[in-house]
Amino acid sequence: MDENQEYLTEIKVRGYHADFYGHVNNARYLEFLEEDRWALFESRIDLHKWVEQGLLFLVINININYRRAVGVGEILQVATSLDKVGRKSAVLRQEIVLKTSKELVADALVTFAIMDGSKKTVVMENEILREILKLDSAGTAKTD
């Protein structure tokens, strides 16, 4: 992501986010990333319309890199951008940084698909593709 990245989610690390060692538990990072995915989707796509059409987003893979331990009291910012769109799946690039220094603490690639009411993965074309491309504010996502 670039230095002009939009951070939609800010999280103050609380005691319940920490493990026995006083660091953010690895599973909490996944929650932080999910919070920002929701913020991005809600800000760009009419999710109520999607639900009415029987469409839903389905995370199918997450690859995360933990770069730095984070302790209680630190403030994090999370950003999400569309990285690439394939025929039946797309990839989001996410990062978590310290608010004050912008030091990277974790980054992830999250692959998702869209499922319809018949529980089948839909092809990302036409209106669905146009909606997914709304997630790419920088206009840098690759398409297959």
Question: Are the CB atoms for 40 and 79 separated by under 8 Å?
Answer: no
For this structure, is 46 an active site residue? no
pLDDT of residue 91: 97
For the chain, 144 residues long, give each residue's pLDDT as a single digit of tens: 555 577 889 999 999 999 898 889 999 999 999 999 999 999 999 999 999 999 999 999 999 999 999 999 999 999 999 999 999 999 999 999 999 999 999 999 999 999 998 989 999 999 999 999 999 978 788 988
User: Using CA atoms, how far apart are residues 25 and 13, in angstroms rounded to an integer?
Assistant: 11
Q: What CATH number belongs to 9-143?
A: 3.10.129.10
| Catalytic option among 19, 46, 116, 144 | 19
Across-strand partners of 12? Answer: 75
pLDDT of residue 37: 95
Of 124, 123, 144, residue with least CA distance to 132: 124
